Structure 1
Amino acid sequence: MREEEIEKLRGVVGDCVSKHLYSSAIFFADKVAAITSDPADIYMQAQALFLGRHYRRAFHLLNASHVVLRDLRFRYLAAKCLEELKEWDQCLLMLGDAKVDEHGNVHDTKDSNVVYLDKDGEDREINISSAICFLRGKAYEALENRSQARQWYKAAIKADPLCYEALERLIENHMLTCEEETTLLSSLQFSAEDGWISSFYSCLVKKYDKENVVEAKFSELEQEGCNVKPSEKSLMRTLKNNTDLLACKAEYYHQCGEYQKCFELTSILLENDPFHLKCTLVHLAAAMELGHSNELYLMACNLVKDYPQKALSWFAVGCYYYCIKKYDQSRRYFSKASNLDGTFPPAWIGFGNAYAAQEEGDQAMSAYRTAARLFPGCHLPTLYIGMEYMRTHSFKLAEQFLMQAKAICSADPLVYNELGVVAYHMKEYKKAVWWFEKTLALVPSSLSEMWESTVVNLAHALRKLKRYREAITYYEKALAISTRSLSTYAGLAYTYHLEDHFTAAITYYHKALWLKPDDQFCTEMLTLALADECRFGVRTEIDSHSSDEIFI
């Protein structure tokens, strides 16, 4: 057969692949490889078999060729076949012998066939070495060796910063702390034209202050007038409205307790891209916090219909049942989600929260400890362990785990709030004031109802330190956030009472009792305040008459 005819057949194979006609591609690729015996044509045939899901046959074809020992592409595709067959140990053997250190740097051993850190340069292809590192990471993660998986994912993103999947695994599976994420990003070597990718990654890895990061990074790049072309500036402005980026902003709102703003933003995003799964997860979390059970029900139904094999779908069902306080059912579906994907953090945390809601502390602790082991970069499991210990009045243990959560993520205001509560219960009021003030310094200036209890707790601690004027200021701030808090009215009344401002105290005791008429503390203190005002009034009147006589 003439070379022109063979080249035409190769074109047919490529066209069949592009049109997803894999059986046709396999048929013609087989004929081309039989005619030429060219390694490139054998690779093309193996590619067609792989895309047609004939993994065992593709692996046999590659392995039978001696080229697999010399060509990285052959070795990588053979390992991909073993990945699909879930033969993870064999997959690692096929990739060859190499080691990675804790910084994500690869060190070859005697197997010199695999070259990891050679950049692919001008054609802008993803470095094959980076893809191999990533596949090693997936294999180790499947074998539950998460420490090795973490190192290989870091090696993959360092070998080529364009290997986004490696970064996604590290972030979504909470394999790194906030500080480690920042360090990793700063170590990546981006080319001059990839500045926008660096900015985008900055927004993805930051778990807090995302809104500021988004604005600051893009403003910084837009101001680089001499180094940035006008067309690139236009690209940056366009990307500021990208769904991935706005999903990060929604996540920022959720973590700050701005649940309504988060829900509104994710609702808009999902109208434009209803199948954006990261945005869907944030939307579910916000809807659950706001108690929107109807929205959760509809989302869960749609997800189960469209993605029955995804953990997110059954997590949504669990969220719905948790929202309507059917905790047994919610546990069942959170458990199903974790069984489908053991690396899905929300399922494990939801599982523990469902137990905690029914005060089944041992089971909740077990779920949280599993999550803490699986996701060392996620501070929420240790935070919730601390909160469980606080619920059982084990304040020293609670403080220990809360400090661990702070070490993992030092920017979450909820951690500081819980440390303040622990300090208050341990009667360390100065420390409690410091923690509560730190909490309020980390949240947005427009406080939402989520942080009303923090303001009240700070006022309580100040009252304990006899800093009554400051305490009253914070009680009034709490009333500006919510006028339906018994604790705020009772605390404000008691503070005025301690200052001998009996009229104001009586007023606020009455307001507290209007919210809860049978509150024992306010009832007793109102009686005392009325008696104190009566005695004070009589004493004042006597003093007034005495003064008049002296004056006369």
Structure 2
Amino acid sequence: MREEEIEKLRGVVRDCVSKHLYSSAIFFADKVAAFTNDPADIYMQAQALFLGRHYRRAYHLLNASQIVLRDLRFRYLAAKCLEELKEWDQCLLMLGDAKVDEHGNVSDTKDSNVMYLDKDGEDREINASLPFSYIFPFKTSLLQYNFCNMLLKRYKAAIKADPLCYEALECLLENHMLSCEEETSLLSSLQFGPEDGWLSSFYSCLIKKYDNEYVVEAKFRELEKESCNSNPSDPSFMRTLKSNTDLLACKAEYYHQCGEHQKCFELTSVLLEKDPFHLKSTLVHLAAAMELGHSNELYLMACNLVKDYPQKALSWFAVGCYYYCIKKYDQSRRYFSKATNLDGAFPPAWIGYGNAYAAQEEGDQAMSAYRTAARLFPGCHLPTLYIGMEYMRTHSFKLAEQFFMQAKIICPSDPLVYNELGVVAYNMKEYSKSVWWFEKTLTHVPSPLSEIWEPTVVNLAHAYRKLKMYQEAISYYDKALALSTKSVSTYAGLAYTYHLQDNFTAAITYYHKALWLKPDDQFCTEMLSLALLDECRCGADPKVEFRSNDVYL
């Protein structure tokens, strides 16, 4: 990226600050600082964070810089952050030898070399009237307007009027106001300037990431290659967005959606070590820790968040996640409810609230929470998906199928939706249809398959067995064993398939392996006895044919 383009982005940041569009200012200031690493740009980013009330993150950014104690502006802004955090001792320590008079003017006898933020150049302003007037009156009234069409149209009009109005895009995405298809369509309709190719790519990484893995990863690679020569005198010295926190948070979110929870957790751990107060990374980190059962990590995260952000829904959501992880669902519900009270437009809290009820099979309350979430966040398919799961738990398969199909319309690329449709079809004894859905699930899963998709492979093998396509069933049971060797269902299904083919020796072997994992399994115990009896009969008289009925599994 050329220096004049960087200067235009600086103008965008200043313009956003002047219009109090602090989320947009933070977004663009972060990118400018990533491209240049200029102290003036780092200070501009810290200012944007401070104005956006991200006091802890602004202080961390200033304190991590190498010139915080040498540059009076850095030190004073860091002290203001500490003042807002009410950490008075640290605030006085940060002021040090700086003297503040009664008018708030700062002087420092040790270092008078003060750098200035403003640079010469033409500012590139956000389209003045339209985006600002469209966003400001409605940002604080999301629930009051119940995400009505008028509000949706105003946000879309704001971002279409000026693609640099990140604030409007953030509202649309964070509050799940658009489906996957609508998000893609909106981005394709934006008119970016010739120098804003990187921004178009960045926006495409922010939307839901259920596309083909090659498409999503290509977007990340394209954006990581975007570079800026931050030192014109040295052509070889280039900076890129490859290590930018926002971009890495998008990548972590992609890993989570793919089911790569360990990779997601490792990446967010690195991100939070670099920037402990990056809230988007924090949310993804909590989700990954939940999936992996890291209760200690959840406890520490919850304590720190409640300390630093007691008025944020995310903090109490983290507490709810900890109690959910240790299976104390009553306490979990209490804190998820507190999170929804603090911020009714926080989707994870509503879903967690419903899940906590569902974990104790309190279906009516769970359904109520999911329906509220589905109403508030029409672009999020998860509430509808969970409603279908609740209907399936009560064996209302037709109703479950209807909700799964609704979820499919909202997000047609999530493999979990297709897996649930396959399970419904299997339970309704539509085995051919079930095979079709399970195979479609696997086509939407990134390769190579991870262990999280092992149940889908086993389900597909079960469906093939029901269709008496035994070789295909055995093939998929073997694939499932390559993903996980600790599943009783896989060994039992494989043993039963061999049993149906009169291969009693192989059947006995796999029944034993299943019983080694679960010695009290009634099905395997009974079928092992039958397999031993069948083998004895066939061994005594080879002309005798005996086959157990396919009435199990």
Amino acid at match of 2:378: P
Residues 523 and 237 from structure 1, CA distance in 2 versus in 1: closer, same or farther, beyond 3 angstroms?
farther
Query: d(CA) in 1 for partners of 2:279 and 2:520?
Result: 48
Identical aligned residues as a percent? 81
Q: Secondary structure at the match of 2:344?
A: coil
Q: Following TM superposition, by how much is the alpha carbon of 1:211 offset from its aligned partner in structure 2, in angstroms?
A: 6.3
Task: Output the CA distance in 1 between the equivalents of 2:151 and 2:451.
Answer: 41
How do 1:173-322 residues align onto structure 2 when only pairs under 5 Å count?
A: 173-209=175-211, 212-213=214-215, 215-217=217-219, 238-322=240-324
Tell me the equivalent position of 1:126.
Answer: 126
Structure 1 counterpart of 2:509: 507
Partner of 2:342: 340
Question: How big is the shift at 1:375?
Answer: 0.2
SS at match of 1:123: coil
- Contact kept in structure 2, 1:140 and 1:146, CA below 8 Å: no
User: Are the structure 2 counterparts of residues 400 and 194 from structure 1 closer, same or farther at C-alpha, using a change threshold of 3 Å?
Assistant: same
- 1:154 alignment partner AA: K
CA distance in 2, matches of 1:234, 1:337: 49
CA distance in 1, matches of 2:163, 2:135: 12
Secondary structure at the aligned position of 2:276 is classed as coil
CA RMSD of aligned residues (A): 2.7
Mapped pair 1:137 → 2:138:
yes
Give the TM-score normalised by structure 1. Answer: 0.73
C-alpha spacing 1:229/1:453, structure 2 compared with 1 (3 Å): closer
Q: What is the letter of the counterpart of residue 413 of structure 1?
A: P
| Equivalent position amino acid for 1:425 in 2 | N
Larger radius of gyration: 1
Distance 1:211 1:532, change over 3 A: closer
Q: Is the 8 A contact 1:175 1:376 kept in 2?
A: yes
Greater relative contact order (Cα < 8 A, sep 6+)? 2
CA distance in structure 2 between the aligned counterparts of 1:453 and 1:480, rounded to whole angstroms: 12
Across the two proteins, how many residue pairs are aligned to each other? Answer: 424
Q: CA deviation at 1:207?
A: 2.8
Q: CA deviation at 1:518?
A: 1.9
**Contact 1:137/1:150, CA 8 A, preserved across alignment:** no
Aligned to 2:195, the other structure's residue is in SS state: helix
Q: 1:463-491: per-residue Cα shift (whole Å, max 9, x none)?
A: 00011001001111111111111111110
1:146 equivalenced with 2:157 (yes/no): no
Greater helix fraction, Structure 1 or Structure 2: 1
- Contact 2:419/2:437, CA 8 A, preserved across alignment: yes
**Cα deviation 1:181-204 (Å, max 9, x = unaligned):** 000001111111111110100000
Unaligned regions of 5+ residues in structure 1, if any? 1-16, 19-50, 54-121, 544-552
Q: 1:179 to 1:541 in 2, by over 3 A?
A: closer
CA gap of 1:322–1:145, structure 2 versus 1, over 3 A, is closer
What CA distance in whole angstroms lies between the structure 1 residues aligned with 2:365 and 2:510? 42
Residues 189 and 234 from structure 1, CA distance in 2 versus in 1: closer, same or farther, beyond 3 angstroms? Answer: farther
Choose from 524, 527, 534 the match for 1:525: 527
- Structure 2 length normalisation: TM-score? 0.73
CA distance in 1, matches of 2:391, 2:376: 21
How far apart in 2 are the matches of 1:321 and 1:229?
46
- Structure 1 position 385 matched with structure 2 position 387: yes
* Structure 2: gaps spanning 5 or more residues: 1-16, 19-50, 54-121, 546-553
Q: CA deviation at 1:495?
A: 0.1
**In structure 2, how many angstroms separate the alpha carbons of the residues matched to 1:214 and 1:256?**
11
With over 3 angstroms needed to count, the CA separation of the structure-2 counterparts of 1:235 and 1:266, relative to structure 1, is farther
Distance 1:312 1:466 in 2: 50
For 2:498, the equivalent position in structure 1 comes to 496
- Kept in 2, the 8 Å contact 1:137–1:153? The answer is no
Give the aligned residue type for 1:247.
A
* Residue 394 to residue 218, structure 1, CA distance change in 2 (3 Å): closer
| 1:437-452 alignment, distance < 5 Å | 437-452=439-454
